[in-house]
Amino acid sequence: MNRDIWMILLGSLLAFSGGLASFFIQTWWHRKLIKNNTLNLLKWMIGSISSVISRIEETYEKTNLLWNDLLYQISLDLTIFEQNREISLISVNPSIRQQVYDWCMKTRTNTSLSLGLNQMLLSNPQNDWVKNDIPQKIQLFKELKNDASKLIEKLK
């Protein structure tokens, strides 16, 4: 009789410890999956924006215009980051967390300013200030593209 009680207690202890170990393993695995998926999402987003910037450079060289469709594409890609900002920044290595955030904010600012300049140019094509400022924005896009390739390397 006494032995049966100890067997029941031992079985209960093993079941409890197995459940606890399973919980910790699932939590660890879930966090690892979230981190990997988030890093892949960030790499995809930065790569996508970098390819759109290349297309902006090409079209600007050919037509001397910024295309709103391409600028809107960058805005859409940045929306992915903004919707997942907290988990994206938590999942990134702390040493480059600020760099990722700064790059995204610089890209957002440059895109918004470029859209504004484009609208001003469409409303007043003779505006020299706007015509002189657009090449500066293109140069800033080139710098952002170079920074993007460095960020992708750091995210690996």
Q: Annotate 16-59 with DSSP letters as a single string.
A: HHHHHHHHHHHHHHHHHHHHHHHHHHHHHHHHHHHHHHHHHHHH
Domain total in the chain: 1
Rounded CA gap, 21 and 95, in Å? 31
pLDDT given at position 29: 92
Asked if the structure places residue 49 within a domain, the reply is: yes
Asked if the structure places residue 14 within a domain, the reply is: no
pLDDT given at position 85: 76
pLDDT given at position 74: 92
Q: Which domain covers residue 107, as residue numbers?
A: 29-155
Asked if the structure places residue 151 within a domain, the reply is: yes
pLDDT given at position 107: 92
Asked if the structure places residue 16 within a domain, the reply is: no
**C-alpha torsion sign, points 118, 73, 88, 155:** negative
Asked if the structure places residue 4 within a domain, the reply is: no
CATH of the domain at 36: 1.20.120
pTM, full prediction:
0.77
pLDDT along the chain (156 residues), means of 10: 82 89 92 84 89 92 86 89 76 80 90 85 76 85 90 82
pLDDT given at position 1: 64
In 3D space, the residue among 111, 108, 125, 113 whose CA is nearest the CA of residue 64 turns out to be 125
Asked if the structure places residue 69 within a domain, the reply is: yes
Asked if the structure places residue 2 within a domain, the reply is: no
